[in-house]
Amino acid sequence: MNMTKVLVATDKPFAKVAVDGIRKIIENAGFELVLLEKYTSQSDFKNAVTDVDAVIIRSDIADKEVIESGKNLKIIVRAGAGYDNIDLAACTDKGVVAMNTPGQNSNAVAELAFGMMLMAARNSFDGSSGTELRGKKIGIHAYGNVGKYVAEIAKGFGMDIYAYDPFVSNEAIEKDGIKPLNSVEELYSTCQYISLHIPANEKTKKSINFELLSKMPKNACLVNTARKEVINEEGLLKIFAERTDFKYVSDIEPACKAELAEKFAGRYFFTPKKMGAQTSEANVNAGLAAASQIVDFIKNGNKTYQVNK
Ligand code: 3PG
């Protein structure tokens, strides 16, 4: 019988310590690790999948073509939270189990949200007089794994903390000492800072629009460590034009970056690459969880974190 092959396909590589840990788990299980890092084209990814049983990815695009090229493919694990980069229907059609590793990189993302908030509050550290976070209202848009870490850190900063999440009960939010609000409109009209933690799906794409952003109080700052796709960029450009007090900080630049750069310099910050989860701790947590989930699925059939049906 051929040895089980596990491909780690990461255009944005894990820290070495994480790759070493993944290798140990895979090899201890008697499997073989295949590494494809910083690949230059989607066809490199597609070719690498051809003869493997399992794949670990990050934000890599696991589209229909990739999934279908995996002749022996049984499982694909997104080492991270958002799985909008996987064609779930293609996985289901081919009988491939798709999983994520929820919670494993959440603290890293929450810390980046605060790093960017401080940048906005301190005018990108340009030497001018900025503002403080203490006492300011922060609205956590979706109270999941990252949202909870954001709340915890916000307490340390002495912020006034609100959250809106239609999938989490008010009681659960209150239990953490956070004020729940009952609509997205209420969250945006209450909070000077909004930290976005919604997934990108058919319901949420382009949902953060001009109407919502225009409700934000004076000196509004939108912090996006979620996905650029949830922003309605026409609305974003409009709010920048109408509200000179509006700032936007985001983990990964929007498509309209050139226009923002031309007209609204100094009021935004974008990471050059999505790097919320780019810490060795998050790489280790998510990478090792992905490797263990693969071993547990192949050896014992455990499908706990399956995201496709
Ligand atoms: C996630 O969904 O887990 C984060 O966006 C991290 O993505 P990354 O693994 O590409 O850094």
pTM for the model = 0.96
The residue whose CA is least distant from atom 5 of ligand 1 is: 82
Ligand 1 pocket check for 144: Cβ under 6 Å: no
Average pLDDT over residues 29-44: 97
The residue whose CA is least distant from atom 6 of ligand 1 is: 277
Q: Angle 165-231-285 (CA atoms, 0-180°, nearest 5)? A: 60
Rounded to whole angstroms, the Cα distance separating 283 from 162 reads 29
pLDDT in tens, 235-276: 999 999 999 999 999 998 999 999 999 999 999 999 999 999
Ligand 1 pocket check for 106: Cβ under 6 Å: no
Ligand 1 pocket check for 18: Cβ under 6 Å: no
- Which numbered atom of ligand 1 lies nearest the CA of 60? 10
Angle between the N-to-C axes of helices 280-300 and 106-121, in degrees from 0 to 180, rounded to the nearest 10: 160
Among residues 297, 292, 287, 284, the alpha carbon closest in space to that of 75 is found at 297
What is the pLDDT, as a whole number, of residue 1?
66
Task: Identify the structural domains of the chain with CATH numbers, from first to last.
Answer: 5-104+279-300 (3.40.50.720), 106-270 (3.40.50.720)
- Which numbered atom of ligand 1 lies nearest the CA of 100? 3
What is the pLDDT, as a whole number, of residue 2?
84
Ligand 1 pocket check for 46: Cβ under 6 Å: no
